[in-house]
Structures are given as structure tokens and as C-alpha cells.
């Protein structure tokens, strides 16, 4: 199920996730400003050869690269979410990730004339993947923009006949996150309470400091699933080594598993160096923060009978991009397989956190 399909310059990794006659493809590619067009084209050709359509894309790079990225795609019929932005230097591109689907018809979800995602059906469930969701009025306050984005997420899901409570995973990118993360959490928790999320299932999530293409306060992506029968289970997974994030008023689950006939998807939230009691561990030591964070993620994987080789995609966030080599060193020293991981230069949700990683893993039953 897991495979690495390397481009001639060995910069492309593809992992397959078959479920109910459908295949999802997770593609991680290294790219630079000069190779962007070539990499995008290579991914498009690879997916066309597999009769797969691209449903989603992340680009890791400064907002000045956004227009060129759009123009590098002959027909942009999927949402392009600029993840890295200018929260830090924004001067480089560090890679891109795609999700593609074969064996199912992709139905577009539109925000006006802007495509923000797709939904598709299998016999077991309906899936919806949305990205690049943002407020329209940038003159509004950060908190107002955040509220607007949550409301828009809810409205967009209606196009797939889905509700906000069907969301299993969110990705939330906040411009100048460290200035207003507490205020954002108040907005999110209030909205979740109004929609009954705490009585059902709190989604997994990543909340990271990243600028957007146009400087919005908040840009989001989401994965929603609507089971068609009791054989599909969607449930929160606790972290064996950390307390629930809800304990310190951050409304997300440590991980969420989608368990369906024949296959499982485990989506692990953005994870950082946090002690069981909720405090930051290993302040000012990125190496130690990586070690603890990777141990925490590994224990979540093992708790669901998975391991590193089941990784479909991962994003590693560094406050100081010059410390990114420490993750590669950790993986080599601990004999990890080559992970399909992209690097992002971004602020983490606390001043004293230097590293965070999110990870999706897939396994056939």
C-alpha cells in the first residue's frame, strides 16, 4: 500500500490509501522557485497515469510565490493552500503536498467562483476535503475573521450535504498567531459549543502561525466524513504521553481515526514538546523538543497498531528553519524509514515551542 515513486531527481514520494474501491494518493514533493513548474507537471502526469484527479494542494513558501504557483498549473481545478506565508522569512519554497483520488467522481465545492475543494462518495461513506477557506472582508478584526471562517466552513459543507459535526480534521493557519492565539481559542471554543461539537467529537487539528496569500488573519482546510452505515467508525484517539488539549482550553483532539471496512486512516494533530500536565518541555532546546515530540507521535501510532512505515504524509514546522536538519538527524539516528515529510518555516502556538509535527498514517485491515 505504501510506496515511494521517485522523480528523476528523487524528490517525489507517493503513498497509496485504498478504501472501498477508491484510492487516495498522498504526494510529497520537494520544490524550489525554479523547479516549481516541473514538479507540478510531474505530479500531474503521475496522477493522470493512475487515472487520478488532484483534489488538494499545499504549497510551502512565501506569499510572493503564490501568483507564480497558480500560473504554473495549467488548469487550477483544485484548491491551492499557501501554508508557509510570511510568518517568518517567507523567502524560500520548501516543498509541496498533494492529495489525489481515483475510482470516484470528484464533485467541486465552490466559494463563489473560487473552488475550495471536492467531495466524493464510496459505498461506505461520503468524504469532503476543503482548503484555502478564508474571510472575504480583511478589514474586520482577527476574531471576526475567525468566526466568519468557521461559519463559511459550515456553509460550504452544505454543498456536500454535510454538517459541521462531520468534520474529522482541521488545519488552521493564523497570521501573527502568537499575538492572538488565546483570542482565537475563545472564538473556536464558543463556536464549537454552539454547534454541539463537545457533545459529539472534537476534530483533530493543526494550529500554526503562517501568513496567507493575501494576508488574511486566518486560512483553513478541513477533512469531513459522513458514514453511511455503522461499519464506519470515526473517533478521537488520545495521546498516551500527553493530556487532552481540552485541559488547557485548546479545542482539538490529539488524533482522530477513520475506521472503515478494509482500511484505517489515523490523522494525528500538530504535536509539540508538551509535558503530560500541559507545560512546555525542553525550553530553548530544539533537539530535545524533537525527541520528545517524535516519542509522543510514535506512542500514538503504536496505540493504534501502526508504526512509522505507515506514514502517508507529514508536515514538520520549525520556528528556526536553520534547525530543520535536526529532524533528519533524529530519523537517521533512530533508524526511521524515509518519511514523506515537508518542512515549513512557521511560528508554533507558544513562544517557547520550537518544533511541531503533524502526521497521517494509513493501514489496511
pLDDT at 86: 59
**Residues recorded for the chain:** 365
- Residue 224, SS3 per DSSP: strand
Those residues whose C-beta lies under 8 Å from the C-beta of residue 340, and which sit 6 or more positions away, are 4, 13, 15, 26, 28, 311, 312, 313, 314
Give the C-alpha separation, 137 to 157, whole Å.
21
pLDDT of residue 4: 41
| Gap between the terminal Cα atoms of the chain | 11
Handedness of CA 36, 332, 90, 59 (dihedral sign): positive
* Sites in the chain below the pLDDT cut of 50: 1-9
CATH architecture of 1-103: 2-Layer Sandwich (3.30)
The CA R_g of the chain, rounded to the nearest whole Å, is: 19
| Cα dist from 81 to 36, 171, 200, whole Å | 15, 10, 28
pLDDT at 160: 97
Model pLDDT, residue 84: 72
Find where cell 463559511 sits.
Answer: 152
Q: Residue 141 has what pLDDT?
A: 94
Annotate 321-351 with three-state secondary structure.
Answer: HHHCHHHHHHHHHCCCCCCCEEEEECECCCC
How far CA 319 is from CA of 22, 88, 203, 261, 352, in Å, comes to: 37, 8, 25, 40, 10
CATH superfamily of domain region 117-229: RutC-like (3.30.1330.40)
HEC string for 43-108: HHHHHHHCCCEEEEEEEEECHHHHHHHHHHCCCCCCCEEECCCCCCCCCCEEEEEEEEEECCCCEE
- Compute the Cα dihedral for 244, 248, 249, 252 and give only its sign: negative
Compute CA distances 141 → 135, 146, 350, whole Å. Answer: 11, 9, 21
Q: φ and ψ at 260, to 5 degrees?
A: -130, 165
Q: For the chain, what are the domain ranges? A: 1-103, 117-229, 231-240+268-365
pLDDT at residue 3 in the model: 47
Summarize pLDDT for 27-58 with one digit per residue, the tens.
Answer: 999 877 777 888 888 898 899 999 999 999 88
Same fold across 1-103 and 117-229: yes
* C-beta separation of 15 from 5 below 8 A: no
Distance CA 5, CA 188 (A): 39
Q: Nearest to residue 24, comparing CAs of 104, 101, 78, 98? A: 101
Per-residue pLDDT at 8: 40
What CA–CA distance (Å, rounded) separates 66 from 37? 12
231-240+268-365, CATH topology level: 60s Ribosomal Protein L30; Chain: A; (3.30.1330)
**Closest listed residue to residue 147, CA positions, set 114, 110, 194, 115:** 194
Cβ pair 334, 307 in contact under 8 A? no
Residue 107 has a pLDDT of: 95
The confidence score (pLDDT) of residue 268 equals: 97
Q: What is residue 33's predicted lDDT score, i.e. its pLDDT?
A: 77
Amino acid at each position: 500500500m505504501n510506496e515511494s515513486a521517485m522523480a528523476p531527481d528523487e524528490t517525489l514520494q507517493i503513498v497509496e490509501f485504498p478504501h472501498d474501491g477508491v484510492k487516495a494518493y498522498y504526494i510529497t514533493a520537494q520544490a524550489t522557485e525554479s523547479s516549481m513548474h516541473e514538479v507540478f507537471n510531474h505530479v500531474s502526469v503521475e496522477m493522470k497515469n493512475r487515472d487520478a484527479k488532484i483534489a488538494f494542494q499545499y504549497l510551502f513558501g512565501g506569499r510572493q510565490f503564490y501568483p507564480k504557483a497558480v500560473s504554473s498549473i495549467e488548469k487550477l481545478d483544485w484548491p491551492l493552500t499557501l501554508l508557509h506565508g510570511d510568518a517568518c522569512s517567507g523567502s524560500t519554497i520548501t516543498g509541496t503536498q498533494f492529495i489525489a483520488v481515483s475510482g470516484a467522481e470528484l464533485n467541486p465545492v465552490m466559494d463563489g467562483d473560487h473552488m475550495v475543494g471536492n467531495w466524493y462518495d464510496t459505498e461506505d461513506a461520503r468524504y469532503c476535503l476543503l482548503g484555502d477557506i478564508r474571510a472575504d472582508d480583511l478589514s474586520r478584526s482577527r476574531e471576526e475573521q475567525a468566526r466568519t471562517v468557521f461559519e463559511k466552513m459550515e456553509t460550504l459543507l452544505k454543498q456536500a450535504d454535510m454538517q459541521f459535526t462531520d468534520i474529522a480534521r482541521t488545519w488552521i493557519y493564523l497570521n501573527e498567531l502568537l499575538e492572538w492565539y488565546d483570542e482565537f481559542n475563545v472564538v473556536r471554543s464558543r463556536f464549537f459549543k454552539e454547534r454541539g461539537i463537545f457533545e459529539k467529537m472534537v476534530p483533530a487539528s493543526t494550529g500554526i502561525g503562517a501568513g496567507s496569500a493575501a494576508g488574511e488573519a486566518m486560512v483553513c482546510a478541513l477533512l469531513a466524513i459522513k458514514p453511511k452505515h455503522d461499519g464506519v467508525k470515526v473517533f478521537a484517539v488520545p495521546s498516551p504521553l500527553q493530556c487532552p488539549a481540552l485541559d488547557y482550553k485548546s479545542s482539538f483532539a490529539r488524533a482522530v481515526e477513520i475506521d472503515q471496512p478494509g482500511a484505517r486512516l489515523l490523522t494525528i494533530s500538530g504535536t509539540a514538546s508538551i509535558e503530560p500536565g500541559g507545560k512546555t518541555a525542553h525550553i530553548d532546546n530544539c533537539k530535545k523538543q524533537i525527541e520528545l515530540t517524535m516519542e509522543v507521535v510514535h506512542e500514538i501510532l503504536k496505540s493504534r497498531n501502526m508504526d512509522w512505515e505507515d506514514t502517508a504524509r507529514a508536515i514538520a514546522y520549525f520556528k528556526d528553519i536553520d534547525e530543520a536538519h535536526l529532524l533528519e538527524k533524529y530519523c537517521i539516528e533512530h533508524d526511521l524509514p524515509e518519511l514523506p515529510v515537508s518542512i515549513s518555516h512557521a511560528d508554533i502556538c507558544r513562544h517557547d515551542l520550537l518544533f511541531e509535527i503533524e502526521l497521517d498514517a494509513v493501514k489496511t485491515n
